[in-house]
Structure 1
Amino acid sequence: MPAAALTIGLLIASNVFMTFAWYGHLKFRAAPLLTVILVSWGIAFFEYLLQVPANRIGYGTFNAAQLKTIQEVITLSVFAIFSVTYLKESLGWNHVAGFTLIAAGAFFIFHKW
């Protein structure tokens, strides 16, 4: 599998874990804070098992700024899906506009000048 595809696939998977670690507990507001912190750390462990190899594999095919940009675009994409499907929150025009501006930033990072 090409390094770029493997990197992006691992980053997508890691972001699913990261998003649940950071925001999944919001549906469990009655759970004690220490409990949700420990559960989040446990979930984040799996995020790191995917994220660290993704960056290690991808570095060289991508530079560090490109890896970070890929990560941020994936993060926002995964979060948007998570927010709508899991948290049942809607995305407004302002969210779409903000995400579009971030995607425009990705263009500048990857464009050969």
Structure 2
Amino acid sequence: MKGFISIGLLILSNTFMTLAWYGHLKFKDLKGFENLGIISVVLISWGIALFEYFLQVPANRIGFREYGGPFSLLQLKVIQEVISITVFLIFALLFFKSEHLRLNHVIAFILLVIAVYLVFKK
């Protein structure tokens, strides 16, 4: 159960982080946000990222073997990276219509999934 909770929190945290890192690139399309300076954009992104930390830190503690979770540190990191790429891919395809999924992207994603498999292999 701790593994599922950890993964769920990682998905949520990566959603906030993706919004913090890349969401501001769509500000030009939002009324009232189109002329913000870089300091304002950084502060807004930082505020969004705060929620990421409120989810990421518990996700890692709950999932980490030394705190009673099922995952090693390396397993947690590889899981997080695959979640991060997956969340980013969904975000990019939904909000940035100029981005297109190509065969090399699919192959790269498959290789990441293979990395998850390998990191769990004894």
The TM-score bracket by the shorter chain reads over 0.9
2:102 pairs with 1:97: no
Partner of residue 44, structure 1: 49
Gaps of 5+ in 1: none
- Distance (whole Å) between structure 1 residues aligned to residue 101 and residue 37 of structure 2: 29
- Report sequence identity in percent: 54
What is the count of residue pairs matched by the alignment? 111
Shift of 1:28: 2.2
2:75 pairs with 1:66: yes
Instruction: State the superposition RMSD in angstroms.
Output: 1.1
Runs of 4+ in structure 1 deviating by more than 2 angstroms, as ranges, are 28-31
> Which TM-score applies when normalising by structure 1?
0.93
Partner of residue 107, structure 1: 117
The one-character-per-residue Cα deviations of 1:14-33 (angstroms, maximum 9, x if unpaired) are: 01000000000111254311
The one-character-per-residue Cα deviations of 1:72-107 (angstroms, maximum 9, x if unpaired) are: 010011011000001222211111111111111111
Q: How does 1:72-87 map to 2 (within 5 A)?
A: 72-87=81-96
Gaps of 5+ in 2: 29-33
| Letter matched to residue 77 of structure 2 | K
- Distance (whole Å) between structure 2 residues aligned to residue 109 and residue 90 of structure 1: 29
